[in-house]
Amino acid sequence: IKRLTPRIDVLINNAGVALRSEPLGLQKAAELTVSANYFGTKRVTKALYPLLSDHGRIVNVCSYLGRLAEVSEPIQKRFSDPKATEGSIDNLVEEFFTGVKEGDYKERGFNDSMYSAYGLSKLALIAWFKVLAREAMADPRKILVTGCCPGWCRTDLSE
């Protein structure tokens, strides 16, 4: 990418995989969904961040399924902690994975719906972008990190 363009003005993160647990099984669907939506977006953002121009922008396409209301109050507090770090958010994601593996993710405070992994991945991404926004404020390039939710979109992929 650096050979094609030395600078990027706007990075739009629009990863969105929402796999149902059938026929893959919840554990595999959760791993694939969170890997693409959360970990993949983080990797791309970190790789391209050094190429952002002065006053560059990072826009994260969010989802209403990534709301804090989708998890228990103790989990909400941890995701919304103003002192949250990338590590603390990663720990919450790992707790979800452990709960899925052990079959007690609902008891641990995570959402029990057919899109629980998707919602968790988007919630984690929103929380991580808040961390990134704090860090970007100290960047002399004055990079703005923001998010938006376009709402549900009817596409061939959403059927």
Give the count of beta carbons closer than 10 Å to the beta carbon of residue 40.
16
Q: Which residues of 52-74 are buried (b: 16+ CB within 10 A; e: fewer)?
A: beeebebbbbbbebbbeebbeee
Catalytic status, residue 49: no
Of 29, 17, 112, whose CA–CA distance to 63 is shortest?
Answer: 17
The residues carrying an active-site annotation are: 118
